[in-house]
Amino acid sequence: GESVGLHLPTLSVQEGDNSIINCAYSNSASDYFIWYKQESGKGPQFIIDIRSNMDKRQGQRVTVLLNKTVKHLSLQIAATQPGDSAVYFCAERKTGNQFYFGTGTSLTVIP
C-alpha cells in the first residue's frame, strides 16, 4: 500500500505486504531528514535518517528514499507487521538546527 503523505493521512495494509509512506518537504536547503514512528501514548521514535548527499538508505526492513529534485521523501517498510501500526512522521532540518515535521501518516496493519 502507498500513501500520498500530506494529502492522505491514513494508510491500511495487509500484514506481510510492503508499505510506502510519502512525504513532501518544503525547503530545498534542508540537508538532513529523519523518519519517526509514534505509537499511542508515546513520543516519536527514531526509525531511520538520511543526509541530502544520499538518495537511498536501508535499515532493518526499512528503506528511505530521497528525491531532492521534487523535494520528496519516502519510507518503505518491507513485510509489514501488526507492530508497525503507528503514526509515521518525516522531519527535515532547516537552518539553525530547527527540525520541522510533516503532517504524519497513520498506518494500520490488517492481520
Residues that bind another protein (CB under 8 A): 31-32, 34, 36, 38, 41-46, 49, 51, 87, 89, 91, 96-101, 103-104, 106
SS3 of 36, please? strand
Q: How far is the CB of 85 from another protein (least distance, A)?
A: 14
- CA max distance for the chain: 43
Q: How far is the CB of 16 from another protein (least distance, A)?
A: 26
Nearer to another protein (CB atom), residue 18 or residue 63: 63
What percent of the residues of the chain are helix, what percent strand, and what percent coil, each to the nearest 5? 10, 55, 40
Nearer to another protein (CB atom), residue 17 or residue 31: 31
**Cα 67 to Cα 73: distance, rounded to the nearest angstrom:** 6
